[in-house]
Amino acid sequence: MEFITESHYYRVMPFLLEGLVWTLLITFVGLIIGFVLGAIFGFARLSKNKLIYGIATVYVEAVRGTPILAQILFIYFGLSDLMGVNIDKITASIIAIAINAGAYIAEIVRGAVYSIDKGQEEAGRSIGLTRNQTMRYIIWPQAFRRMIPPLGNQFVISLKDTSLFSVIAVGELLYMGQQYYGMTFQAFQALTMVCVMYLIITVPTAIYLRRVERRLDV
């Protein structure tokens, strides 16, 4: 047993588990807010109102057209400068994931709602449901099912994106691995385990999503 507990593969784990907690926290909270943003801006992108559509389009294109690393630095340093306050690192990370994922989720929402057959809305309206009721009870539940695979995909992307927060010294998974080999100079073992930790989350997610996708296909 000793050769295991003495190895760096083992001794890095307490660091990595602490990092994983932050990685998951930032990802989940960021994505929940990102989903709300995505739903709002996704519907805005379907709006016939030019102003609403325009604002949403600017947001989506601005986020999709810039690197997430720049967005992170912009939120952490840029916004603090502008407002003259220090934003807490975790808060900045969550905001960055939310705003970044929100733009991609907006496109997922728009695409899914748009893909529902026009006849569904007509059938809903023709039995007397209002526009909102038709959206809520008829279109949205069907669209949401179609959104599950791309949303799961976005979860994997955002989870990996949190590693970029190591540049502002957020104690997430990658950063904690770096901390370990900074002290021990065992980069190979530490980074191997960092990757294993990411894969433990991402691979089962990918398998699950492929299964959901196949089920939705029929």
Partner 1 sequence: MITVKDLHKSFGSNEVLKGINAEIKEKEVVCVIGPSGSGKSTFLRCLNLLEEVTSGDVIIQGDNLTDPKININKIRSRVGMVFQHFNLFPHKTVLENITIGPIKVKGMKKAEAEKVARPLLEKVGLSDKADAYPESLSGGQKQRVAIARSLAMEPSIMLFDEPTSALDPELVGDVLEVMKDLAKEGMTMVVVTHEMGFAREVGDRVLFMDEGVIMEEDLPEKLFGDPQNPRTQEFLSKVL
Q: Which is nearer to partner 1, 64 or 214 (CB)?
A: 214
Q: Smallest distance from the beta carbon of 108 to partner 1, in angstroms? A: 18
CB of 99 to partner 1, least distance (A): 31
Neighbours of 90 (CB within 10 A): 16
Q: Give me the least distance between CB of 129 and partner 1, in Å please.
A: 6
CB of 216 to partner 1, least distance (A): 12
Q: Which is nearer to partner 1, 64 or 145 (CB)?
A: 145
Q: SS3 sequence, the chain?
A: CHHHHCCHHHHCHHHHHHHHHHHHHHHHHHHHHHHHHHHHHHHHHCCCCHHHHHHHHHHHHHHHCCCHHHHHHHHHHHHHHHHCCCCCHHHHHHHHHHHHHHHHHHHHHHHHHHHCCHHHHHHHHHCCCCHHHHHHHHHHHHHHHHHHHHHHHHHHHHHHHHHHHHHHCCCCHHHHHHHHHHHHCCHHHHHHHHHHHHHHHHHHHHHHHHHHHHHHHC
Q: Residue 61 Cβ, how far from partner 1 at the closest point, in Å? A: 28
Task: Pick the closer one to partner 1 by CB: 137 or 208.
Answer: 137
- Which C-beta is closer to partner 1: that of 72 or that of 135? 135
Residues that bind partner 1 (CB under 8 A): 117, 119-120, 122-130, 133, 137-138, 141-142, 145
